[in-house]
Each structure stands twice: as structure tokens, then as C-alpha cells.
Amino acid sequence: MPEMPEVEALVHWLGDKLDGAVVAEIEPASFAVLKTYDPPVSAFAGLTVTGVTRHGKFIDIDVDGLHLVIHLAKAGWLRWSDHFGDSRVKMGGPLALRFRVDRGDGPHEGFDLTEAGTRKGLAVYAVRDPQEVAGIVRLGPDPLAPGFDLRPLLQRRMQVKRLLRDQTVVAGIGNAYSDEILHAARLSPFAIAEKLDEDEVVRLEAAVTSVLTEAVAAADGKPAADLKDAKRERMRVHGRAGQTCEVCGDTVAEVVFADSSLQYCPTCQTGGTLLKDRTTSKFLK
């Protein structure tokens, strides 16, 4: 799943690609992808792209005051093309939407939104104001925004892993970077946020800032096609179950849930204790 660092990189890259371009057409290729009906996507044709910004994991393309807001969800992605033919998109398959622009000096270019698998979560909203998108309205503060303060957000009886992933608490962090942050902070994913002591809070604050800042810097400037592989290569624990922890040499362990998993280092994070998953027994606290 693309998270804040990758979405930030996509926003910068798309901003350069689309700056000043005129929208030729927006073609949905899935009945489920477009979540709004007013304004219609046909209203974007002939208007100019004036900016691309980010709200949490949402991409916001400003087109002369209308906004095309995109949430890539778990399996969505964006693929750029320098040359679209004249053929119409076909309904069904991995293609969800095509965004064509016309620069007046050649064939249409633009991007396709695609989604792998059968569980469809990719969502597109055509709105006059991004605040019309309920997911944006509910977002918590952005962890890299000036003045961000993590401490008040920790006053919850929630596992810290779940807190970091909750978009209404902190915007933009998902499964991968929460694993990386907790590894850097040397905290168990099952630690209760409101019970963290001062030293643990300081470590977590530092880890949120350092992990996300470094990830944004590493992703910046990379084209969309390279972002997924670059993200995987940067991970120290996420997606590396059974491999060696680069910090201590222990074996990275895993907890499996119904539809996701988390990875952690027992030595770095849980004092050597293996956390049990639901496939074998109840969670250890």
C-alpha cells in the first residue's frame, strides 16, 4: 500500500508532469471507482491543471478550481503514459480510470489508475472542494506538518501500532511505516499508547520524524514506476519476516492477522519475547 512518503513523491512528480496541462478527458473504466456524480468528470475537459497536493494518503489534482481526489487504497497504483492512442478504455480488468491531458503539440499523454486483485478499494472523487471527501475531513494531523505534536495523540488506550495506523489520529502512516517506526523506537507493536513512559515517548517522537523524513527524501524525484521497489528496499523489518535484523542480528518475526500482518524484531522491540498471532494462540500483552 502506498503511504505518505510514496504519495508525497507521487504528488511532486505528478505536479511536474501535469503543470499547465489541459485536461482532454477523464475516462472511468470501472463502475466502482468513481464515488461522486456532481460535478461530472466531463466538467474537467478543457480546464487546466493548476496544482497537485496531498492530504494524508489522498492525492488532490486541482483543475481550475475543480478537484480530482484519488485514494490508491491497498492495491491501487498510477502508471504514466507519454502517448495514449485514440481507442476508448474498456470496462473491467485492472484499469480503473484514464486521465488524458492535451498539450497541443502531440498525442495525448497522462496516467492510468490501476488496481490489482478482486478486493476493490481504489477511490476517485470529483469535487469542488477537497473537504467534500469524508476521508479527508476525518484525517488527523500530518506528522511532517509544522507544529505536529505526537504527545496529546498518545493519550489513548490503544496499541501503539493501531494508533499510528489510524488515519483519524495521525494522517498518512500505514502498515509498513508503522512497523519501521516502532522498530526504530524499540517499541513493541502491542504496547499501549497511554502507558508509554517518558523515554519511550521521546524515542517514538524521534522515530516518527526520522523514519518519515528519510523516506520522503529517498522517494522524492523517483518516477511512479520506481517507487514500490525503492520502498521495499528501504524496509528494515516490514516484509522481512525470517530475515536477519540489521541492528541486532536476531531473526525478524511476524504476527499474522485475518487480512494483514506486522513484522518486528524480538530483541530490539519486545525484550526477546515472541508475540503470538491468532493462528496459534491469543496475543501476548
User: What does the pLDDT average to over 61-69?
Assistant: 98
- Of 74, 109, 138, the last residue of a domain is 138
Residue 158 resides in a domain: yes
Query: Among 11-15, 210-214, 230-234, 242-246, which is the least confidently predicted range?
Result: 230-234
Which is higher by pLDDT, 250 or 276? 250
Whole-angstrom distance, CA of residue 68 vs CA of residue 139: 18
Domain count, the chain: 2
The answer to whether 160 and 187 have CB atoms below 8 angstroms apart is yes
CATH code of the domain containing 176: 1.10.8.50
The answer to whether 181 and 143 have CB atoms below 8 angstroms apart is no
Q: All 3 cell numbers of residue 153?
A: 495523540
CA 226 to chain centre: 15
Mean residue pLDDT across the chain: 92
Residue 256 resides in a domain: yes
**138-149 pLDDT, tens digit each:** 999 999 999 999
- Residue 282 pLDDT > 80, yes or no? no
pLDDT level of residue 23 (50, 70, 90 thresholds):
very high
- Residue 26 pLDDT > 90, yes or no? yes
User: Which amino acid does the sequence have at 15?
Assistant: G
Same domain flag for 16 and 121:
yes
Whole-angstrom distance, CA of residue 155 vs CA of residue 193: 7
- Residue 56 pLDDT > 90, yes or no? yes
**91-107 pLDDT, tens digit each:** 777 899 999 999 877 78
The answer to whether 255 and 284 have CB atoms below 8 angstroms apart is no
Residue 31 resides in a domain: yes
Residue 172 resides in a domain: yes
pLDDT at 285: 41
Whole-angstrom distance, CA of residue 12 vs CA of residue 83: 21
- Residue 283 pLDDT > 70, yes or no? no
pLDDT level of residue 278 (50, 70, 90 thresholds):
low
Residue 197 sits in which domain range? 151-264
pLDDT level of residue 86 (50, 70, 90 thresholds):
confident
Q: Please give the model's pTM, rounded to 2 decimal places.
A: 0.91
The answer to whether 232 and 156 have CB atoms below 8 angstroms apart is no
Same domain flag for 221 and 198:
yes
Residue 245 resides in a domain: yes
The answer to whether 214 and 207 have CB atoms below 8 angstroms apart is no
pLDDT at 128: 98
Residue 81 bridge partners (DSSP): 110
Same domain flag for 112 and 180:
no
CATH code of the domain containing 109: 3.20.190.10
Same domain flag for 133 and 235:
no
Same domain flag for 241 and 155:
yes
